[in-house]
Amino acid sequence: MPRFWGGPADGEICDACDTRITKEQLVIEGIASTHTDEKSIQFHVKCFYVWDAERLRAIAPPRDSTFAADIPALALI
């Protein structure tokens, strides 16, 4: 199970959109692991929601096209 935490940013680069996460923004951080490697990853909050929805879609494909509408956070983006 992936583990993520959030807090004040310190100028990290978002792994989703490749732009800087400013000190005025929050950063979502976590550890991405593969069979051979672990890597720290950082996202803007909105980028994290998109990334997480895509990750979940890849794990368990939806039965119908209403899947994205079932995730309230996507409505905020």
Which residue do the tokens 């990334």 mark? 51
Query: What CATH code is carried by the domain that includes residue 43?
Result: 3.30.1740
Predicted TM-score of the model (pTM): 0.68
pLDDT in tens, 25-71: 999 999 877 777 888 899 999 999 998 888 888 887 656 655 555 55
Q: From the centroid of its chain, how far is CA 5?
A: 11
Cα distance between residue 60 and residue 77, in whole Å = 22
Q: For position 20, what pLDDT does the model report?
A: 97
How many CA atoms lie within 13 Å of 55's alpha carbon, on the beta-carbon side? 10
Question: What are 5-19's pLDDT values in tens digits?
Answer: 999 999 999 999 999
Structural domain boundaries, residue 65: 4-76
Q: How many domains does the chain have?
A: 1
Task: Give the per-residue pLDDT at 32.
Answer: 79
